[in-house]
Amino acid sequence: MPTVKITPEMTRAALAGTDWSRADAITDDDIDRQIAEDEDVAPVILPMDVKAIRSATGLSQTAFASRYQIPVGTLRDWEQGRKAPTGTARVLLKVIQYDRTVVDHALSMDRGRLS
Structural domain that includes position 66? 47-114
CATH code of the domain covering residue 100:
1.10.260.40
Q: How many domains does the chain have?
A: 2
Tens of each residue's pLDDT in the chain, 115 residues: 677 788 888 888 888 888 888 888 988 888 888 878 886 766 555 678 999 999 999 999 999 999 999 999 999 999 998 998 988 999 999 999 999 999 999 888 876 554 4
> How remote is the C-alpha of 54 from its chain's centroid?
15
Q: Is residue 39 domain-shared with residue 52, that is, in the same domain?
A: no
* 64 and 107 within one domain: yes
- 2 lies in some domain: no
Cβ pair 92, 48 in contact under 8 A: no
Task: Please tell me the predicted confidence (pLDDT) of residue 94.
Answer: 92
Kindly state whether residue 3 falls inside one of the protein's structural domains: no
Q: Does residue 88 share a domain with residue 39? A: no
Mention every residue, 6+ apart, whose C-beta is less than 8 A from residue 30. Answer: none
pTM score: 0.58
